[in-house]
Structure 1
Amino acid sequence: MRHLLALPLLFAGPAFAQDHATHDAHGPSHPMPMASDQPEDDGESKAQAPGEDTVTLDHRMMNHGAMEHEPMDHGSMQHGSMGHADMDHSGMGHDMTMQHGATATPSTDSIPKAPPPPEAFSGPLHAADQFLGEDVMAASREEVVREISGMPVFWFMADRAEYRARQGKDGYLWDVQAVYGGHVDKLWLKSEGEGSFGEKPESAEVQALWSHAIGPWWDVQAGVRQDLVGPSRTHAVVGIQGLAPYLFEVDASAFVSNKGDVTGRIEAELDQRITQRLILQPRAELNLAAQDIPELGVGAGLDRIEAGLRLRYQIRREFAPYVGIAQEWRVGQSADYAQAAGEDPSVTNFVAGVRFWF
């Protein structure tokens, strides 16, 4: 770079060299000398054109063979003293255009203007159809549309439908629920009962509840409960049902009967996934009463405790047989009522059943 900048000094004479030194010292505010200010040469240089403010080099005097063409080291150039912007390129005879870091701009002619080729639309409309099948994905999309559209849906689940092997007569138990409605308000039906084979059920009830979502995890419920066996009782019900922290499914209800009896029930269960299909479910249930109810064999305070452990295998998510064990205790005055009726206040049940929903 220095060799190229020195060429005008060699051929322009001492006056040009002096002014160029001034240019280096003071920057671009000092213009390069006019050709008319230069001393006359030996006659071999070209005459300066009128009105031309550039220095013209005579190529006949330049020994191109002797010129050393060294690569320019842009990193070593001191841009602080004289950068590319400070150089008056118009004063050079050569049209030296230095493209330092220039980037080519793509032409708009390179952008395709034709529509996509037909092959772009040869695949399925939905990519998942190619892997899971059109029938499976069509049913899944219909279910999503139904759920997010706010239309009422129906859901039924038999949480426990089981055979109970125990000392004495074997028995049975059912615990089913059905829901109809939307995401916020719905009709919730519940029924549960148990008994021994060959005898009338020991207990049976049905509940009809209005359920209102108070958050993403909880529903508050209110309605009526009707006992189907034993002394006739109709109860007003208020409760809460949902998913507690750590994924405990909780159902807690308070009952007030038409006889003025106040009772309560708390149920909790937890699904512990062992594998994708094998699930261990611990479950507990507490029954309480605010007073003695002799005709029902219920004592005040804690009436009955049930704790169980069930292991189920999901053949499908909607259908899962299980086996397990359930222990029942009558507590306090309720135990006395059971013994007076010839019943054992503590019963162990080996259970086998099925859990299904649709």
Structure 2
Amino acid sequence: MSDSLFASFLGRDMAVDLGTANTLVYVRGRGIVLNEPSVVAVNVRDGRPLAVGSEAKRMVGRTPSHIQSVRPLKDGVIADFEICEKMLRYFIQRVHQRRWAKPRMVICVPSGITGVERRAVQEAAEYAGARKPAYIIEEPMAAAIGAGLPVHEPTGNMVVDIGGGTTEVAVISLGGIVTSQSVRIGGDELDDAIAQYIKKEYSLAIGERTSEEIKMALGSAFELEEELNAEIRGRDLITGLPKTIVTSTKEIREAIEEPVTAIVDAVKVTLDKTPPELAADIMEQGIVLTGGGALLHGLDARLSSETGMPIVMAKNPLHCVAIGGGQFLEEFAALKSLISSTDH
């Protein structure tokens, strides 16, 4: 095969971080080329998708009754197979111009999903245009590689990947996951907790976009040196009219305490199951945080306080899983043993 033809085949390989909140696509030799919300706006009259990604997310809460904004993934797994397949097809076509050739694809999935859920992801990718078989890599392994951890060495590496729908905690050594914990709690649960708190305490209804904005502005997992306040606008559930309230970081910390505690507990359970030699390595190197949820203010301090371990924020926490999946493409022959397909 000529070098130019071989290069064109390489250009078709892609890794997909199929997230509950966002989907990222890494193309071999090019890096991350797409980062879009995992949202599809659908015309319910005929099932036709009207918008995908950022455009669809802008429509959330602002559509007429015959248009619905659908998030096809929930808790890290496919909730609507048909819409997920259409979303994947759209993203593949955006980055892969050669319609006649199917790209080889690696898809990143939570470590705690069932065999049925795993197969659903593979089938969605294959129906969307991926070459069979679509390969699967577990998110904590991809996150660890994307964060630059020496996963092939005989030392303990611990990664905590907090996504939109799941939190993946894993201890990795010699190219394998030694022990792990997967909980279906992530950024979405923090958003929901904020919306429920505001509804209960202030009789105010707010949308998911507003909840996410509050989380980013006021959310914290640990007491801050300086507490902040912010205005929130929503609909008064008593009068039905627009209303503005003022809330604080202290209140929002109280609102998200339950899901934050569940994340902390998952880390503690994993540490408790870690062999002593690997635990000593982790004590020396630290626990690495990845994923969008890792950006929650004070989460590193909270984890350090409750585990006694040093906490390290990955360089590009939002991109670690996609970058790790991409590394499998770049070194496919050497790393193929770490991924799986239905043929294995």
State whether TM-score is above 0.5.
no
Higher strand content, 1 or 2? 1
Relative contact order, CA 8 A, sep 6+: which one is greater?
A: 2
